[in-house]
């Protein structure tokens, strides 16, 4: 060991400052290149902001702490891809504030859960998990079937998201409560209006089995059934291979 290094180790303040300098230098080399590119998240066809009903479901998902047991980040490892599906893309979380990435998996990753199970299965599973999955340690959320969704808060939620970059229009914000009711109404002819506002991949139906009430269960199931359904991964992979 050199004499200079020995002297540095004996000087606690100097050693701490040197560590800070080296760490800062490494961070600078990683962060500085990001300022030279227009967008750090690659644009992917199919991605769109959440509908008011889906966003409400996501807020309830966060409120109930579902992220503590379920990640939404499929890594590129073969074990992840074989079990859960296509690896996660950064673009899939471009409208998430906060995102639901992570590695904690008491329960399975939910990135591709959309359309994997029926609405009826999701409602039954959320209400009483052990009736659907033997030995599940997941708590029950039957109260979601009883809680009416507070639609008066939806416009405010979309306004807050627009302030952090989510491209909601004035019309989408002003009609958030109406659009949430319409998305869960299977009998009314609102599908074309919702798809004109949010894109072709909006699911319109009664999600909780109670067509006469808009509940928090409607919102959570709408959110879960959307996860992983927006991107055509076959087309994405083909395009990526041709670059």
Contact of 208 with 145, CB cutoff 8 Å: yes
* pLDDT score for 73: 94
Residues 67-121 pLDDT 10s: 999 999 999 999 999 999 999 998 999 999 988 888 789 999 999 999 999 999 9
Looking at domain 52-241, does it have CATH number 1.10.287.130? no
Phi, psi of 163 (to 5 degrees): -65, -25
Residues 10-33 pLDDT 10s: 777 878 888 898 888 888 888 777
Between the CA of residue 205 and those of 130, 140, 197, 221, what are the distances in Å?
26, 24, 17, 11
151 has a pLDDT exceeding 80: yes
What's the token pair of residue 168? 């909601």
What residue spans define the domains of the chain? 3-36, 52-241
Binned at pLDDT 50, 70 and 90, residue 2 comes out as low
Binned at pLDDT 50, 70 and 90, residue 43 comes out as confident
* pLDDT score for 231: 93
* pLDDT score for 38: 62
* 3-state SS assignment for residue 199: coil
Select from 39, 97, 78, 50 the least CA-distant residue to 229.
Answer: 50
Residues 101-114 pLDDT 10s: 887 899 999 999 99
* pLDDT score for 186: 80
What is the percent of the chain with per-residue pLDDT over 70, rounded to a whole number?
Answer: 95
Contacts of 20 (CB under 8 A, 6+ apart): none
Poorest-pLDDT segment among 15-29, 128-142, 158-172, 217-231? 15-29
How far is residue 165's CA from residue 44's CA, in Å, rounded to a whole number?
17
* 3-state SS assignment for residue 148: strand
* pLDDT score for 34: 67
């Amino acid at each position: 060991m050199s004499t200079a290094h020995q002297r540095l180790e004996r000087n606690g303040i100097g050693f701490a400052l040197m560590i800070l300098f080296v760490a800062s230098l490494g961070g600078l080399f990683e962060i500085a290149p990001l300022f030279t590119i227009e967008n750090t998240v690659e644009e992917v066809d199919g991605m769109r902001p959440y509908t008011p009903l889906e966003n409400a479901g996501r807020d309830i998902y966060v409120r109930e702490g579902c992220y503590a047991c379920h990640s939404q980040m499929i890594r590129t490892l073969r074990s992840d891809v074989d079990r859960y599906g296509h690896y996660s893309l950064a673009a899939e979380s471009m409208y998430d504030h906060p995102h639901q990435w992570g590695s904690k998996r008491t329960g399975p990753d939910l990135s591709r859960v959309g359309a994997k199970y029926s609405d009826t299965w999701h409602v039954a599973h959320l209400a009483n998990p052990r009736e659907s999955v033997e030995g599940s340690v997941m708590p029950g959320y039957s109260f979601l079937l009883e809680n009416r969704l507070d639609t008066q808060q939806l416009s405010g939620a979309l306004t807050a998201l627009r302030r952090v970059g989510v491209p909601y229009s004035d019309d989408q914000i002003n009609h958030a409560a109406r659009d949430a009711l319409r998305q869960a109404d299977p009998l009314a002819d609102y599908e074309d209006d919702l798809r004109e506002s949010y894109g072709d991949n909006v699911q319109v139906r009664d999600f909780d089995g109670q067509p006469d009430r808009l509940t928090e269960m409607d919102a959570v199931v709408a959110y879960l059934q959307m996860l992983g359904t927006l991107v055509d991964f076959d087309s994405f992979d083909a395009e990526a291979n041709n670059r």
